[in-house]
Amino acid sequence: MTRIDLTGLEVRPSQVWGGIRLVPLVRAEPVEGLRLHREVYGGGARLDDGGRDCGYASSPGPSSPVDVGDGTVYTSYVPHGFVADWSGEDRETAAYGTRLGDGSPATVPVRAPHHRLAKLRRGERRLRFLPLHLALEGYLALHFGGPPVLWEEWSREALRRGLSPRAEAAHAGVDVPGLAEALRVFEVHPGQCGVLVYAADALAAAFVVPHPEDYRLLHPTLVEDLYGELVHQYAHYGGPVPAFAARIRDGAGGIRDLADLRAAAREQERRWAVAHDGLMARDLLETTYAFERVHRAGPFALYRFLPPFLRDGREQHIGELIADRKGRTAYLKTFRLSDAQVRRGYLLRRLAFQDWHLERTAGELGIVRDELVRRIRAAGFGGLLDANGLARAARESQEG
């Protein structure tokens, strides 16, 4: 699997609130055999599975870090707790928004090992996972180990600790201007199983679930999700976007009855859907991703994915999805990276490809080594460099 397959989902005309555009995704038939269920925890609750499970806390009120039982303490802002159920039982469906501490933080650091963020319920055909935390951890762990060879330009600390500690910032949906109001007035369509969220007509996030009942209960929780810095800026500084409008003209043959009017309206919807798939969501659907399977759940598998980190100006997303054996998407949640995050991913990929050798990496990028060093420092990785080694190499270069 290299691309996101939204087979079975159809777009409906968008709804607009200021600079926010919400595009419904509708299924003719829900995905059989998979549901998302509600998991509600009390404030400061510890989720325990024989001392090996992951713990996290929920609102209201401040909560302390949770000791997961092996000396590791996990503290994180958790927007939702999802349980994927493929048991076939008809249980209550939804998710529950949670918040760490008092109020909503403007930005949240995310760091945790992915094997603790997806746990199979003992004795049950249910998998609990933390949406978007899998995807964000995958990005944070990108070449996390640092240089595999101690070249003179890299410090010994970099070899021992790699990129640790490393954090990325994200904005809670409540801080994205206009999003809460748009979700509040949004009309949920019959059969709706997902939504594409745009800010200033730039794709901010995609969200897909298996069943319409799941979506109806999960729709309000989108305001608790994590959104990238770029999305927040677009929503804050971008102007209002045009709403969808269908114009039916009385051309040759005319509109003679309600059947003709209905057919003309459906044709307008079809044309808008074609335009949307070909333009607005093109980068998301046409990008080739690197997928990593995290867990297999019966006929379904949970994956996280990373983009190719190409510097071609196109939007790039990280995310996670649940797909069936044919690769069709049952669940999807994406996070759009900022330009700075794409640059960091691109730089790490190029360094790792050349075994972190500065001269070879600079040659591949078509720049001099000093420029590469500047980019490394600008990306926030300057702490990995050895000042003495760089100075010595600079002197030798001048003498040569």
More confident residue, 143 or 345: 345
pLDDT of residue 306: 95
Are residues 230 and 285 located together in one domain of the fold?
A: yes
122 pLDDT higher than 60: no
More confident residue, 1 or 48: 1
pLDDT tens digits, one per residue of 144-156: 888 888 788 898 8
Does any domain span residue 151?
A: no
Are residues 347 and 367 located together in one domain of the fold?
A: yes
Does any domain span residue 114?
A: yes
Are residues 323 and 390 located together in one domain of the fold?
A: no
Does any domain span residue 4?
A: no
Does any domain span residue 1?
A: no
Mean per-residue pLDDT for 64-73? Answer: 53
Are residues 217 and 201 located together in one domain of the fold?
A: yes
Which pTM does this prediction carry? 0.77
Are residues 129 and 221 located together in one domain of the fold?
A: yes
Residue 56: band (very low, low, confident or very high) from pLDDT cuts 50, 70, 90: very low
More confident residue, 105 or 337: 337
Are residues 280 and 366 located together in one domain of the fold?
A: no
pLDDT tens digits, one per residue of 360-396: 999 999 999 999 999 999 998 988 898 877 777 666 6
342 pLDDT higher than 90: yes
Does any domain span residue 38?
A: yes
Residue 400: band (very low, low, confident or very high) from pLDDT cuts 50, 70, 90: low
40 pLDDT higher than 70: no
Does any domain span residue 252?
A: no
Are residues 264 and 346 located together in one domain of the fold?
A: no
Domain final residue pick, 290, 320, 340:
340
Domain final residue pick, 295, 314, 340:
340
Domain final residue pick, 314, 340, 366:
340
Are residues 191 and 291 located together in one domain of the fold?
A: yes
pLDDT of residue 52: 28
333 pLDDT higher than 50: yes
Does any domain span residue 149?
A: no
Q: How far apart are CA 317 and CA 303, in angstroms?
A: 14
Are residues 91 and 116 located together in one domain of the fold?
A: yes
More confident residue, 397 or 26: 26
Single-letter code of the amino acid located at 177: P
pLDDT tens digits, one per residue of 199-235: 998 999 999 999 999 999 888 888 888 898 888 898 8
Are residues 74 and 177 located together in one domain of the fold?
A: yes
Radius of gyration of the chain (CA): 24
Does any domain span residue 148?
A: no
pLDDT tens digits, one per residue of 77-94: 444 566 666 555 544 433
pLDDT of residue 391: 72
Query: Residue 81: which domain range?
Result: 9-143+167-246+258-340
Are 104 and 174 contacting, i.e. CB atoms less than 8 angstroms apart?
yes
Are residues 82 and 20 located together in one domain of the fold?
A: yes
Are residues 314 and 378 located together in one domain of the fold?
A: no
Number of domains in the chain: 2
